[in-house]
Amino acid sequence: MTEQTPKRLFIKTYGCQMNVYDSQRMAEAMGAEGYVETDRPDDADMVLLNTCHIREKAAEKLYSDLGRLKPLKAGRPDLKIGVAGCVAQAEGDEIIRRMPIVDLVVGPQAYHRLPAMARGDAPAVDTDFPAEDKFDHLPARTMNRATRRAPAAFLTVQEGCDKFCAFCVVPYTRGAEVSRPAARILAEARDLVARGVREITLLGQNVNGWHGEGLDGAETGFGDLPGLDRIRYTTSHPNDMGDDLIAAHRDVPQLMPYLHLPVQSGSDRILKAMNRKHTADHYLRLIDRIRAARPDILLTSDFIVGFPGETDADHAATLRLVEAVGFGTAFSFRYSPRPGTPAAGREPVEGAVADARLQELQALLTRQQRAVQDAMVGRTVGVLFEKAGRLPGQMVGKSDYLHPVFVDAPDAQVGDLVPVRIKASSTNSLAGELV
Ligand code: SAH
Ligand code: SF4
Ligand code: F3S
């Protein structure tokens, strides 16, 4: 292969939105090295798996995917295989010992060094939490293949977590909480807007705990950025939901009426055992304050069922909390013991009991999701078109409330933000017409 031929990079992303963002930044960094993205591993010069360690099943996916890459590597020994993300951080060189086809292992705080690693100019395993800020060593946003024409983008503003919930690996895989300075965040947002982005979702493991260097008086805030029509943020912790942020839901028109606020359990006993540092009542009162500021806000959450020590009464308390709030949608997971976390050694809830509780909770959450979607019918909402639908003339986009909406709009373009009247609700999406 000559110097001029571009090399091909295949990236597979597991896990949360922060990993999606990191994959984009890694693609951009490798783009500066002459790599272009491909959507098939078969013709790639480098395969990068950006992994998640949050639950056992998520972590296992890495090893089954690596198993599938073995024959490819056997036929093409110069194919580079890299593992990035949270499993990389947690397992380090153990990954290469278990799977010798892996060439590179890079943790989530060191991926600015990936280009040097790929060239062979840096050690093959890097799970440092470096003192330097990786964002200062990444190329400016060029937008990678997947996002080049996307009107909605992610922007990480905060990383890591100091909360140490008893079940969670994030403080170990992502490290301590770090907030990016406001001026850098705004510069990146301006870059994105200049590339046609109209909606930005600010990301962080505790995004509402952001406490970075502020703006000097001369700078504008997000709400004043011309061309930025929609702002979202995720994920938030109940204990960091300050008055200013709640007021912003009332006062900043670009801030979308949607909030993902994980609560994990409705039982105070379990919340305490999880080290969540709030009660169910604290959460419910918080929801009241948020709804007072923005009555139509759509609320979503995360739940863990079968946490060690959870009784039927604790589970009933979770169902009561869900009934009291009425969520637009929610993720619920069976507890998965994670190595190195405080809860890992505790007596587990019997598998069949945990499964039954999960089913009961999911049935309730599905009913609530459907009720919230059905209540959208007849309303007019904003929809930002993200791509063409499967039917001719059809466009698909997200509503203000983050529902996927299918609209018959033959003359519309990706990136149009239009009012749409909702006509029908189905399992996971809405259908609407242009107003
Ligand atoms: N920072 C966010 C969420 C991080 S992980 C927060 O504070 O809520 C996303 C979700 O995965 C968590 O909200 C939790 O519901 C789930 N999760 C985390 N660790 C888990 C584990 N060990 N077993 C099952 N679910 C888990
Ligand atoms: Fe994990 Fe808790 Fe931190 Fe969320 S707040 S990332 S659940 S330790
Ligand atoms: Fe998974 Fe790491 Fe995100 S463990 S959920 S990819 S922060």
**In the predicted model, is pLDDT for residue 420 greater than 70?**
yes
User: Positive or negative CA dihedral for 343, 344, 350, 354?
Assistant: positive
| Domain boundary pick from 331, 359, 375 | 375
- What percent of the chain clears pLDDT 70, i.e. is strictly above it? 96
Do 30 and 98 lie in a common domain? Answer: yes
Give me ligand 3 centre to Cα 59, in Å: 10
124 and 14 co-located in one domain: yes
**CA–CA distances in Å: residue 39 to residues 48, 145, 396:** 12, 10, 22
Of 191, 215, 244, the last residue of a domain is 244
Do 262 and 229 lie in a common domain? no
Place of tokens 């009426």: 257
For 135, counting Cβ atoms within 10 Å of its Cβ (0-12 exposed, 13-18 middle, 19+ buried), the class is middle
Q: How confident is the model at residue 216 (pLDDT cuts 50, 70, 90)?
A: low
Structural domain contains residue 202 = yes
Instruction: Give nearest CA residue, ligand 1 atom 7.
Output: 237
Kindly state whether residue 140 falls inside one of the protein's structural domains. Answer: no
CA distance 324 to 318: 10
Return the SS3 of 109. Answer: coil
53 CA to centre of ligand 2 in angstroms: 13
Pocket flag, ligand 1, residue 160 (CB < 6 Å): no
Same structural domain, 105 and 120:
yes
What is the rounded CA–CA span in Å between residue 333 and residue 310? Answer: 14
The amino acid at residue 218 is A
Task: Give the number of domains in the chain.
Answer: 4
Q: Is 168 in the pocket of ligand 1 (CB under 6 A)?
A: yes
- How many angstroms separate the alpha carbon of residue 189 from the centre of ligand 2? 26
**Is the beta carbon of 79 within 6 A of some atom in ligand 3?**
no
307 and 339 together in one domain: yes
Asked whether 171 lines ligand 2 (CB < 6 A), one says yes
Task: Enter the pTM of the model.
Answer: 0.95
pLDDT the model gives residue 369:
98
Please tell me the distance from the alpha carbon of residue 406 to that of residue 380, in angstroms, as a whole number.
14
pLDDT tens by residue, 177-211: 999 999 899 999 999 999 899 999 999 999 998 98
Query: How high does pLDDT run on average in the chain?
Result: 94
> Does the CB atom of residue 305 touch ligand 3 within 6 A?
no
Residue of 62, 83, 86 to mutate, ligand 3, most atoms within 8 A of C-beta: 86
Distance, in Å, from the CA atom of 112 to the CA atom of 273, rounded to the nearest integer, reads 37
Ligand 3 proximity of 161 Cβ (cutoff 6 Å):
no
CATH of the domain at 365: 3.30.750.200
Q: Using an 8 Å Cβ cutoff, are 30 and 68 in contact?
A: no
The minimum-distance atom of ligand 2 relative to the CA of 169 is: 1
The domain of 231 spans 149-244
pLDDT at site 358: 98
Tens digits of residue pLDDT in 377-395: 999 999 999 999 999 999 9
Q: Which of 145, 163, 247, 243 is nearest to 204 (CA)?
A: 163
Amino acid 214: pLDDT: 79
Q: Does 209 lie in the same domain as 160?
A: yes
**For residue 21, how far is its CA from the centre of ligand 3 (angstroms)?**
12
Q: What DSSP string runs through 162-202?
A: S---TT--HHHHT-S-EE--HHHHHHHHHHHHHTT--EEEE
Q: Which two structure tokens, joined as six digits, stand for 279?
A: 């009660």
Backbone angles phi, psi at 127, to 5 degrees: -120, 35
53 CA distance to ligand 3 centroid (A)? 6
As a residue count, the chain comes to: 435
Ligand 2 atom nearest residue 171's Cα: 8
**What would the two tokens of residue 254 be?**
């670009």
Question: CATH code at 190?
Answer: 3.30.750.210
Q: What is the pLDDT of residues 273-286, one digit of tens each?
A: 999 999 999 999 99
Question: Which strands form 152-156's sheet, in the order they lie side by side?
Answer: 152-156, 199-203, 230-234
Whether residue 130 sits in one domain with residue 86: yes
For residue 348, the 8-state DSSP code is: P
Confidence of residue 226 (pLDDT cuts 50, 70, 90): confident
Of 213, 244, 275, the one marking the end of a domain is 244
Report whether pLDDT(143) > 80. Answer: no
Q: How far is the CA of 90 from the centre of ligand 1 (A)?
A: 16
Q: Which ligand is nearest to the CA of 343?
A: 1
